[in-house]
Amino acid sequence: MELLGALNRHGIRAVHATGSKSFTLTLRDNVEKVNRRAARSFSYFNSYTHATPHDIDVLICDEAHRLRETSDRRRHFDGPRQGRPQVQELIEAAAVPVFLLDEHQLVRRGEVGSVRLIHDAANDMGVKVQQIDLRHQFRCGGCPEYVTWVEQLLGLGWEHGPQPWRPLETFELYVARTPAGMEDFLRAKQDEGRTARMAAGFCWPWSDPLADGTLVEDVQIGDWRRPWNSRAEREKNGVPPSSLWATHPAGFGQVGCIYTAQGFEYDYAGVIFGEDLVWRGEGWQANRQANKDSQVNGAPRFGELVRNTYRVLATRGMSGAVLFSKDPETNHMFERLGIPLLSGRGSRGWR
């Protein structure tokens, strides 16, 4: 966002694009309050099928791991999507296309964004690529040690598996023995003026709301029950639309999912591991039958996608995170790693 603003202030026509409806609508909503015209600077990856070549000075393609094969949503005769590669459309749309991506955030079947894809497309088009690896990050309070620990925990890109947790000055991590204990902790943070959300793996059904707009409490663990975030596109009865779940004050108390959490950050993240990813013996086991997401559970790389999902959910917090698994053996593994146990209902109370 800082790059987009700086470029436009210098008279350079810059546009932001993503593949996320929630992220784009939230950005537009926030910007429209200050400058309605500026909201036009936020677009989608599939907006450039018929764009005039180089009509934009700089196109910032955020979360480019979410690129699709093409911008055509239709499939012809049950075959592959037709049309030009989406990455080529984006490269051609701007004098300087910028792709920001994290390959460990590929969480859906059909997402194809990668460094290699962009290099290959650019080479085919005769476009020079300058690759910059961002060694420093602001995610999780600028705490790369925590991000590395999560990736090791989930077996993503590191030789070593789960490592003992070593307390950090800039980031808090806890394990909860019950979802109620997690929620109590996060609510206390909300009461202190911080932002907090709970999100879960897609392991429970997702019902339509009742006639009066009331959300059904689909996420059930013992006697603890909460609804998923609303799927509606508009606020109803004080319940925020899906695109604003992560930022609207009334989003707390609903359980978010990867579709509403990815791309956003809040101060404290509560992560509920479902039974689609459990720890057995010395490693993770992915269980398709426990996953309710049709976009994922039939994918050939299901195990990788579900681990990426929990990696994303666990790295939304800027100041801290709380982990809880519905599977007792997995939750016990978290405790064995030395993660402090939360205080609260079902635990020993927190500091």
Judging by beta carbons within 10 Å of its beta carbon (0-12, 13-18, 19+), is residue 173 exposed, middle or buried?
Answer: buried
Greater model confidence, 300 or 204:
204
When mean pLDDT is compared across 102-106, 237-241, 299-303, 333-337, the lowest value belongs to: 102-106
Among residues 26, 54, 7, 5, the alpha carbon closest in space to that of 265 is found at 26
Domains and CATH numbers, the chain: 2-124 (3.40.50.300), 139-336 (no CATH)
What tokens does 256 get?
A: 């978010």
Judging by beta carbons within 10 Å of its beta carbon (0-12, 13-18, 19+), is residue 135 exposed, middle or buried?
Answer: exposed
What are the angstrom distances between the C-alpha of 232 and each of 22, 44, 67, 296? 11, 20, 24, 22
Q: Tell me what pLDDT residue 78 has.
A: 44
d(CA 108, CA 299): 8
For 249, the 3-state DSSP assignment is helix
Q: Is pLDDT above 90 for 7?
A: no
Q: Is pLDDT above 80 for 49?
A: yes
Q: What is the pTM of this model?
A: 0.81
Q: Is pLDDT above 60 for 61?
A: yes
Q: Is pLDDT above 60 for 21?
A: yes
Q: Tell me what pLDDT residue 34 has.
A: 63
Q: Is pLDDT above 90 for 160?
A: no
- pLDDT tens sequence across 199-229: 999 999 999 888 888 899 999 999 999 999 9
Q: Is pLDDT above 90 for 8?
A: no
Q: What's the gap between Cα 349 and its chain centre?
A: 29
Q: Tell me what pLDDT residue 351 has.
A: 35
Residue located via tokens 């350079």: 12
d(CA 130, CA 269): 34
Alpha helices in the chain (DSSP H): 2-9, 21-32, 86-93, 115-124, 139-142, 144-153, 179-191, 258-261, 302-314, 328-336
The residue type of 278 is: V
Q: Tell me what pLDDT residue 38 has.
A: 67
Per-residue pLDDT, averaged over 182-188, amounts to 97
Helix %, strand %, coil % of the chain (to 5): 30, 20, 45
Q: Is pLDDT above 70 for 344?
A: no
Residue located via tokens 């690896």: 133
Per-residue pLDDT, averaged over 300-312, amounts to 94
Question: Do 189 and 267 contact (CB within 8 A), yes or no?
Answer: yes
Bridge-based pairing of strands 56-61 and 94-99 is parallel
Between vectors from CA 187 to CA 185 and to CA 190, what angle results, nearest 5°? 115
What is the percent of the chain where pLDDT is above 70? 90
Q: How many residues does the chain have?
A: 351
- pLDDT tens sequence across 106-133: 887 788 889 999 999 999 999 999 999 8
DSSP-assigned letters across all residues of 42-53: EEEGGG-TTPPT
- pLDDT tens sequence across 218-264: 999 999 999 999 988 888 888 898 888 999 999 999 999 999 998 88
Q: Tell me what pLDDT residue 238 has.
A: 86
Among residues 306, 228, 226, 231, the alpha carbon closest in space to that of 274 is found at 306
Q: What is the dihedral of CA 187, 194, 209, 31, to 10 degrees?
A: 170
Q: Tell me what pLDDT residue 77 has.
A: 38
User: pLDDT band for position 81 (50/70/90)?
Assistant: low
d(CA 68, CA 85): 8
Which sign, positive or negative, has the C-alpha torsion 32, 36, 38, 39? positive
User: pLDDT band for position 137 (50/70/90)?
Assistant: low
Per-residue pLDDT, averaged over 34-39, amounts to 66
What tokens does 60 get?
A: 């910032």
What is the percent of the chain where pLDDT is above 90? 61
